[in-house]
Chain A
């Protein structure tokens, strides 16, 4: 299939369960087995209690739009999607924040507000990669 955006690269070994999860349409997050802290991005040590006992949990896919930009140009050479498009920072229900895109919405500050409820939409972008994008919660 035609790829219209940069693909995640390089995929690090500690993040592979996240990307495997996306392919299976599951939003997987690292969780500390010592203190219960759920965090993102994946790393081998809990950034709160510094324990090395890190496991995984499946997230609900629900969250809020913590912040956003409405881009009128590409910031990456490999980005082929026509502007305007929405750069999104999502606050997940489980605690951590992640970058994504907000889709299925009018790209205007009139329609997009910080803290609006959003939900994940898994979007296949290449034969091997599925990305967790977000849309206004229905």
Chain B
């Protein structure tokens, strides 16, 4: 009998991303509700695919709105819904779920949607499960991602000797890409000294080590490869996907300096796609904090333990570098509404289509998308390519 990995390999290249887009605007949008951010992104992404909203029969979304809410608002009665919510990488994970659903004939046109009024809180009801954090983290002052991700970061510095200057280089590299993206929130160049001189939030993080807080929506439309040929733009094949979860609270990690969820998701996606690190010529990594992308490169096996940051300090990640990373300007400089995971998928798709203008990576054929949920708690990995 075939193993799970062998059976998953049968899903390679069976479905494609055919439409992507953001909400009409991203940034500070007090006059746009969270639900409207979803609906703008969906209608824009469906149009990008050359399809109609009425064609959508699979709805995938994470966060505060259920897929039923989106179906109701769109006036669509979906055949298939998925509300998996394991943090900001949920949308990356859902691309895999959508491929499986499309392959098995459970829907024809799947949309993965994100909308979050993270900055303005317009049309937002805040609810959170606090039974564990409320007992074992909040009484000591923890709360918010910065107070947890710093724990991972400080430990990494202790184990590998990583420095504040090296983390700062991640922000500098990402800003160079943002300068080339008209949609990015911050586009002025920054230096390592600027990062180190920015307001201390919680050691080891100053303000410029931490992602933006914005309002934004984004959506991704998928369909089966045979149908994708009839869509408006060149298809982007989902060659591999993987997902995993390890923990919710960071005390429960096997090893703070390595993400087990990221390692597992990556292994599953690379195995399905039949690729290794050398096959990627474009990389998108969820950057809620400057330390995230280097730790992900290490956890994915692309960098040796402790050496992920060298991709940024040696110029490999920057415009013109050998392995461009976070070419939209990332959560650090482009946009970060809270659950950022939809945006690296959108950027990878645009790069593989060759639509990126000044920031276009020449000859991009195979892109890695990797995101985390929570504090490296969950992970989703995609291998996307513009040919089979």
Contacts and interface: CB of A to CB of B under 8 A. Distances in A.
A70 B202 contact: yes
Given A5-B141, A75-B142, A88-B140, A69 B150 contact: yes
Interface in A62-108: 66-76, 79, 81, 85, 87-89, 96-101
A6 B133 CA distance: 11
A79 B141 contact: yes
Contact of A73 (B137, B158, B201): B201
A71 B141 contact: yes
Interface residues of B, number: 34
Given A75-B147, A81-B141, A97-B251, A69 B158 contact: no
Contacts of B141: 5, 71, 74-76, 79, 81, 85, 87, 101
Interface residues of A, number: 42
A110 B270 CA distance: 42
A49 to B, nearest CB: 16
* SS class, residues of chain A in contact with chain B: loop
B135 A114 contact: no
Given A66-B155, A100-B140, A131-B140, A10 B135 contact: yes
B1 interface: no
B231 interface: no
A98 B137 CA distance: 9
B158 A114 contact: yes
B158 A115 contact: yes
Contacts of B135: 8-12, 15, 41
A40 B138 CA distance: 16
11 contacts: A9-B135, A11-B135, A41-B136, A69-B147, A69-B151, A70-B203, A72-B200, A75-B141, A81-B141, A101-B141, A114-B155
